[in-house]
Amino acid sequence: METATVSRNGTPWVLAFYRSALGKKAVMAATGIMLFGFVFVHMVGNLKLYLGADAINHYGRFLREIGYPLLPHEGALWIARVVLLGAVALHITSAIQVWLMAKESRPEAYTRKDVAIATYASRTMRWGGLIVLAFILFHLADLTLGRTGNAFVEGDVYANVISSFSRPPVAIFYIIANLMLGLHLYHGLWSMFQSLGWNNPRFNSWRNEFAAAFAVVITIGNISFPISVMLGLVK
């Protein structure tokens, strides 16, 4: 007998939903919000760079000890890492699957202008997403593992950031990648509102402004760090 948790062909309801384009967009939206939250909190935390070495190094130690002694040292940090990694993996997998599904169901080449704009936005999302992914891999090697040739000292977050951004090509790469991330966040938020069906002429300009404002705040914060080090404002 069919139950509410099983679809008509016997597939569990959650799996059937995940296999649909709508389900994948919901996964992209949910993981996107988590990643968005992380990027925002990470940027705000990094502002401690402007308060000096003690402030940001103390903050780095605090992050490692959250939950201790209930959890082991770095326990909460590792939980956050696993959750973030899972969110990134699901976000990318669903993005590729939605893209493939759209490609398969597309009847003919597009001619209309609005569709061309949508294609431009999704192309930016794909390329931007790839650059952001490359950035995250470099960033982990750079400031978490200290494997990019910088003078890395475990726990000295302040000195590590300065040593990293004192290399102009690295600082410029951070700036470009974070500008791409800003575009990605803007388009991502905007299209998430679209997928959620918040597409009412009364809210559309508000929705656009909200997505833009959030993306701009995060981008300005993030690019200010390499710029400040290059200008010698943080040393």
Residue type, 44: V
Query: Quick check: 211 and 190 in contact, CB under 8 A?
Result: yes
Shortest reach from residue 215's CB to ligand HEM, in Å = 12
CB count in 10 Å sphere of residue 17? 15
| Cβ atoms of residues 131 and 139 within 8 Å | no
| Alpha-carbon span 56 to 53, nearest angstrom | 6
Q: Which is nearer to ligand HEM, 7 or 156 (CB)?
A: 156
Smallest gap from Cβ 88 to ligand HEM, in A, equals 9
Nearer Cβ to ligand HEM (12/155): 155
Radius of gyration of the chain (CA): 21
Nearer of residues 20 and 144 to ligand HEM, judged by Cβ: 144
Closest CB to ligand HEM among residues 23, 221 = 221
Structure tokens at 149: 């040739």
Residue sitting closest to ligand HEM (CB): 60
Q: How far is the CB of 231 from ligand HEM (least distance, A)?
A: 14
Give dist(CA 179, CA 197) in Å, integer.
28
Pick between residue 119 and residue 144 the one whose CB is nearest to ligand HEM.
144
Cβ distance to ligand HEM smaller for residue 90 or 157: 157
From CA 135, how far away is CA 167, in angstroms rounded? 16
Binding footprint of ligand HEM on the chain (CB under 6 A): 39, 42, 46, 60, 63, 81, 136, 139-140, 143-144, 157, 160-161, 174, 178, 181, 222, 225-226
CB of 145 to ligand HEM, least distance (A): 9
Q: How far is the CB of 29 from ligand HEM (least distance, A)?
A: 17
Angle at 159 between CA 157 and CA 162, to 5 degrees: 105
CB of 1 to ligand HEM, least distance (A): 47
- Distance in angstroms (rounded) separating the CA atoms of residues 86 and 71: 21
